[in-house]
Chains A and B, each alone.
Chain A
Amino acid sequence: MLFNQPEFILLFIALLIGLAVVKSPVLRRRMLLAASWYFYAYWDWRLLGLLIASTFVNYLIALGIGAAGSSVGRRKTLLVASVVYNLGLLGLFKYFNFFVESLGWILGPLGLRVGTLDIVLPIGISFYTFQAMAYVIDVHRGLIQPCRDFFNFALFIAFFPQLVAGPIVRATDLLPQLQLDVRLSWHDVFLGFRQFTIGLFKKLFIADRLAGFVDQVFANAGVFDGASTWLAVLAYGIQIYCDFSGYSDMAIGTARIMGYRLPENFDAPYVSTSITEFWRRWHITLSSWLRDYLYIPLGGSRKGRRRTYVNLLITMVLGGLWHGASWTFACWGTLHGLALAGDKWVHARLGSDRSCSPGGRLFGWLITMLIVFTGWVFFRAPSFHQAFLILDRMYVHPGGIAWYHPFAISVLVAMVVVHILVAADRLGLERLAPDRILSPVALFSMWWLVLAFPPEGFNPFVYFQF
């Protein structure tokens, strides 16, 4: 069930009433778990079994690691079992057909054919698998004690605000909160409502309305002229930011209304003056996950400069593939990996002084945005053919039909203004305090806009497919 569906709002209000009425903390947590499973099963109840199975296996493995004490071999074996299980699950449901089809390109000319599986990608599998895997690794590292209460652990994995599209929450952050007697409070309700409203506005009023324009230009790549194509690519950058950060805001807001804190996932990524800074601001929970559970175990920057670049590249290619089983995502990851390695190289050669001057910062911002928005072409295009058609219109042959969508232009201008204000530290959430009239004016205005000017059709969150 999606946050922007009316049934979610209705059921969430019912759940809140339940949480307010029921006094027993244990019972409240069970209610939360039941609601989480219900929201997940609402999409397709058969996949709930997979979620519960994954929860159970990781729960048992973590208990096993805890019970193994100082037996290094046994702990390691269990850790490997967990990694194999989780990656195997991802591999089967998300990557099997992709690799088989890729293999088919090689084996096809030899007369060999390998069949694909007719399976559906379980929603949120990339998110909950990473979350479960990180939990087992943290238990193995001794950062957290294994959770003994299965239902608490199940709630940690299935906690509905962040189950299907993140933020990817660490066990060290969420499990302790789930073991506490968290009660509803007005200040949490206000802060959660505020963040939820902002997220809903980003998703429904901006992202979904941009989607109509962006989808058409990408589906008809090569038809529209260079300026229109540039506009669509910039609009897609805004769309995916508003879509995903909107989802994260709604997730964080929903959890906050119930008294739980989830980590922030975005921090104005388009003000970044380097690609390294961009990844500190974009999908923060994924980039920190990749850093802690992939980049650092690969050796990070501890094994020399050349190895650092290779590690960055590997991390980003795999990060790209995490987003989707397609070579276009791998290409997107490679582009970012190369850019990160390049940024490290420039940093090592020129030192950090280059970024201090306003001119240097502006230059860095321009280069960063050029890389990021060119990267979005591979991220969004369903095939290399379409991606190159788009790039051709952007950089080489700009002829075609003009389509300067007024809403896309308006949003683009508004985003520039917002980002200038953010960069100047003049636009913070503290301005929307509960005792300032600006809060209800801004929040209710957003609701009016969302309700009176809905997008055409129904657009699920972009990150649901990941």
Chain B
Amino acid sequence: MSAATAVLAERREPVRATVADAVRRRSAVFYVKIWLGGFVIASALAIGIGPYFASSLRVYEWSPQIGDYVFVPGYVHRERGEGWATTHYGQLGLATSCPAPASGVRTVLVWGDSFIEAHQVNDSQKVAARLTEAFADRQGKTLQAIEVGHSYWSVADYYFNLPAYEKLFNPLCHFVVLAEHGLVDLCPDGERFAAVPDFHFVQRPRVDPRKNRIMQILKAWRLEEVVLVPWKAVHNLARDVRNMHVLRKEGARGPTTHRDELLTDRSDSNEVLASWAYVIDHLKSAATKPIVLVSVPEVPLLRDGHISLDDPQAAWNTRLASLCRERGVGFIDMTETLLDDYRRSGKVSRGFYNGVPGRGHLNARGHYLLSERMAAYLREHFADVQ
């Protein structure tokens, strides 16, 4: 026996003997059964725990009244990636916490993207529910706030959807919440929009009809929870395979600093102002009721090792306020509200325990502060709403 064989023999023998004994004891059919059975049990376990730890798959339906896709009535969204909350949807894709109002109850519409969709917080903590609560008296609601928020929406989407919602709800006014980083969401496509000389809105489908059709079938068969984990697994695997060439080009310890660029860092200031003017004019032309822009800057912000109280875009916020004033559009600047609250409580209005405190979507505290400012605005500008 050579030295090499001895090394192998010495190392392998105990394991080989164990496995070989096992193989001798059992037939191939036995192993196939064991491993197939094991796979089935493991899959059942994964499917069983999946709904507790994984965010829901979204299911939409086409609403002829609104002219866009909305969440199907009865859809319940569980958010697990950022925050830990549940949102229930009813008719017209409206969250059940702010349903279509009874007759005689005045309404306001709160427009926004994922910050207003707010899957990260529970129904009762969302801005619209808080705002409605702020105007509730012993007899019940005196004002109903309705949130019209969808992930990845921009002002272009508000422009296209405003007439339909106005017709349905006849609101007192529209709050358009700009909470995304760097005022980017004021312009669809961010800087690209600002850089195009002749600005234009293009209506784009937000939902992949084919994928949504599959989800609708799964929901009809009550299988959406069963397929959740396999769906996500296949989806992630497909994404990894698609990105194979990208993966090898990355290589760092992980995110260490806040690297996002601001819109205004990258664009010509005149172009930005022109694009904002274009957007505001279009919103005004689409609406018959007053428009109020609500700027929610990223302050206080966890940035490069400290909690920053400075808004790097404060000057831009001022310019946006002037632009709104010139064009007869209301404007709420949340900067001081958020900073005062942080100075008083030491708590931040963005971020969650399972995300990063101080970054990301508004948390329950942020929604509450936002609703307080909106309520104050309504009381100040609408005499019959108190």
Which residues of chain A have a CB within 8 Å of any CB of chain B? Answer: 1-2, 5-7, 42-43, 172-173, 175-177, 179-180, 182, 186-187, 190-191, 211-212, 214-216, 218-223, 261, 382, 386, 401, 403-407, 433-445, 447-449, 451-454, 457-460, 462, 464-465
- Which of B189-197, B243-251, B279-287, B377-385 makes up part of the contact surface? B243-251
Contacts of B20 in A (CB 8 A): 187
Chain B: minimal CB distance from A180 (Å): 5
In the complex, the answer to whether B305 meets A459 with C-beta atoms within 8 Å is no
In the complex, the answer to whether B37 meets A437 with C-beta atoms within 8 Å is yes
Q: Which of B53, B247, B257, B307 is close to A401, meaning CB atoms less than 8 Å apart?
A: B307
- Complex Cα gap A78–B236 (Å): 53
In the complex, the answer to whether A187 meets B38 with C-beta atoms within 8 Å is no
Contacts of B307 in A (CB 8 A): 223, 401
In the complex, the answer to whether A177 meets B4 with C-beta atoms within 8 Å is yes
> Would you call the interface of chain A mostly helix, strand, loop, or mixed?
helix
With both beta carbons as reference points, the residue of chain B lying nearest to A433 in the complex is identified as B22
Which residues of chain B have a CB within 8 Å of any CB of chain A? Answer: 2-5, 7-8, 11-12, 15-16, 18-20, 22-23, 25-26, 30-31, 34-35, 37-39, 41-43, 45-46, 50, 53-54, 84, 229-230, 232-233, 236-237, 240-241, 244, 247-248, 250-257, 302, 304-307, 346-348, 353-354, 356-358
Contacts of A460 in B (CB 8 A): 250-252
In the complex, the answer to whether B244 meets A7 with C-beta atoms within 8 Å is yes
Known: A403-B353, A440-B37, A440-B38. 18 other contacts (CB 8 A): A2-B248, A7-B244, A7-B247, A43-B248, A172-B7, A176-B3, A177-B8, A179-B4, A216-B255, A216-B356, A220-B302, A220-B305, A433-B22, A437-B34, A444-B38, A452-B230, A452-B233, A453-B53
In the complex, the answer to whether A1 meets B19 with C-beta atoms within 8 Å is no
- Complex Cα gap A38–B5 (Å): 29
In the complex, the answer to whether A454 meets B8 with C-beta atoms within 8 Å is no
In the complex, the answer to whether A449 meets B46 with C-beta atoms within 8 Å is yes
Q: Which of B7, B54, B251 is close to A173, meaning CB atoms less than 8 Å apart?
A: B7
Interface centre among B30, B37, B253 (most CB of A within 10 A): B253
- Complex Cα gap A219–B46 (Å): 34
Q: Which of A42, A438, A448 is close to B46, meaning CB atoms less than 8 Å apart?
A: A448
Chain B: minimal CB distance from A378 (Å): 15
- Complex Cα gap A405–B352 (Å): 9
Contacts of B252 in A (CB 8 A): 460
Chain A: minimal CB distance from B36 (Å): 8
Q: Which of A187, A436, A437, A449 is close to B15, meaning CB atoms less than 8 Å apart?
A: A187
Q: Which of A5, A43, A220 is close to B244, meaning CB atoms less than 8 Å apart?
A: A5
Nearest first, the 9 closest Cβ-Cβ pairs linking A and B are A440-B38, A176-B4, A444-B42, A448-B46, A451-B233, A215-B254, A187-B19, A219-B256, A445-B42
Contacts of A404 in B (CB 8 A): 353
Contacts of B306 in A (CB 8 A): 220, 222-223
Contacts of A2 in B (CB 8 A): 247-248
Offer 28 A-B interface pairs, CB within 8 angstroms, sorted by A.
A5-B244, A6-B241, A6-B244, A7-B247, A43-B248, A176-B3, A190-B19, A191-B19, A214-B254, A215-B256, A219-B257, A219-B305, A220-B306, A221-B305, A223-B305, A401-B346, A406-B84, A440-B37, A441-B41, A441-B42, A443-B42, A444-B43, A445-B45, A454-B236, A457-B255, A460-B251, A460-B252, A462-B253
- Complex Cα gap A261–B13 (Å): 12
- Complex Cα gap A438–B12 (Å): 23
With A180-B5, A405-B353, A440-B35 as contacts: A435 and B30 at CB distance below 8 Å: yes
Q: Which of B19, B232, B253 is close to A465, meaning CB atoms less than 8 Å apart?
A: B253
In the complex, the answer to whether B19 meets A434 with C-beta atoms within 8 Å is yes
Contacts of B46 in A (CB 8 A): 445, 448-449, 452
Chain A: minimal CB distance from B21 (Å): 9
Interface centre among A175, A215, A222 (most CB of B within 10 A): A215
With both beta carbons as reference points, the residue of chain B lying nearest to A215 in the complex is identified as B254
With both beta carbons as reference points, the residue of chain B lying nearest to A399 in the complex is identified as B346
- Complex Cα gap A382–B31 (Å): 50
Contacts of B34 in A (CB 8 A): 435-437, 439-440
With both beta carbons as reference points, the residue of chain B lying nearest to A44 in the complex is identified as B248
In the complex, the answer to whether B236 meets A452 with C-beta atoms within 8 Å is yes
Chain B: minimal CB distance from A393 (Å): 12
Chain B: minimal CB distance from A219 (Å): 4
- Complex Cα gap A43–B248 (Å): 7
Chain A: minimal CB distance from B316 (Å): 25
Contacts of A211 in B (CB 8 A): 254
- Complex Cα gap A403–B237 (Å): 31
- Complex Cα gap A458–B254 (Å): 8
- Complex Cα gap A1–B232 (Å): 25
Contacts of B346 in A (CB 8 A): 401
